[in-house]
């Protein structure tokens, strides 16, 4: 299994998780495990062994070779989709044969890892939203080129004249209510009769609703 070679600097033991989001809340652990169930995963043990297995249930691994991991050994499980991966760290609670197949039972994971992290997940397009920029009560229409938890790439008419450092509100209307996210222009590049803006959401912006839509879009193509 060579899928992990497609993620630069990937550590199968999940000790080095730079660029990833590490979560420990029960809901996030369940979400990560749900992504792994039924899939062939890379299993890396703290003893140094790396093997491929299938997660046939939330806490059950089945191997095509004798299980190389010992009871009580900490392991990391990862599944890759292109340049994205989902992983969990857990502990082997028991090793046995199930219908002649080497099997390992796992404890509830202690952490979940999503790469890239939410702020770095970038989706092309606008996710179906109508987008306007509100500056001092004046609204300007914009077209989204891409969108992430950290910001959005936009195109506006050059005549609208937004500049680097300008502060405003990004209004996203998905048809079921409008999100208003404080933001500022990080970059502005003239492109013919248009301006391409690199926009960063403010650190205090509430992006929970946007997070759900981004992760829903990712799940649809996973």
pLDDT tens figures, 174-217: 888 888 989 999 898 888 889 999 998 886 666 667 766 666 66
Q: How far is CA 84 from CA 38, 116, 162, 196, in A?
A: 18, 6, 33, 27
What is the distance between the alpha carbons of residues 63 and 51, in angstroms, rounded to a whole number?
Answer: 8
Q: Using an 8 Å Cβ cutoff, are 10 and 19 in contact?
A: no
In the chain, the domains with their CATH numbers are 3-116 (2.30.110.10), 121-221 (2.40.10.220)
Q: Which residues contact 22 (CB under 8 A, 6 or more apart)?
A: 111, 112, 113
Looking at the whole model, is its pTM more than 0.85? no
Q: What is the pLDDT of residues 105-152, one digit of tens each?
A: 999 999 999 886 555 556 777 777 889 999 999 999 999 888 877 788
Q: Using an 8 Å Cβ cutoff, are 81 and 70 in contact?
A: no
């Amino acid at each position: 299994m060579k899928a992990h070679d497609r993620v630069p600097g990937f550590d199968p033991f999940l000790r080095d998780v730079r660029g990833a989001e590490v979560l420990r809340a029960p809901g996030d652990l369940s979400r990560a495990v749900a992504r792994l169930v039924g899939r062939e995963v890379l299993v890396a043990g703290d003893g140094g062994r790396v093997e491929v297995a299938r997660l046939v249930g939330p806490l059950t691994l089945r191997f095509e070779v004798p299980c190389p991991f010992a009871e009580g050994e900490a392991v990391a499980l990862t599944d890759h989709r292109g340049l994205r991966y989902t992983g969990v760290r857990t502990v082997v609670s028991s090793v046995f044969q199930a219908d002649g197949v080497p099997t390992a039972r796992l404890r509830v994971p202690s952490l979940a890892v999503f790469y890239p992290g939410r702020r770095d997940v970038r989706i092309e397009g606008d996710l179906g939203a109508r987008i306007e920029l509100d500056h001092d009560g004046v609204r300007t229409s914009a077209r989204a080129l891409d969108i992430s938890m950290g910001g959005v790439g936009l195109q506006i008419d050059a005549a609208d004249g937004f500049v680097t450092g300008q502060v405003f509100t990004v209004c996203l209307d998905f048809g079921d209510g409008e999100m208003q996210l404080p933001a500022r222009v990080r970059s502005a590049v003239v492109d013919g009769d248009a301006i391409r803006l690199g926009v960063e959401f403010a650190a205090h912006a509430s992006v929970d609703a946007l997070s759900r839509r981004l992760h829903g879009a990712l799940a649809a193509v996973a």
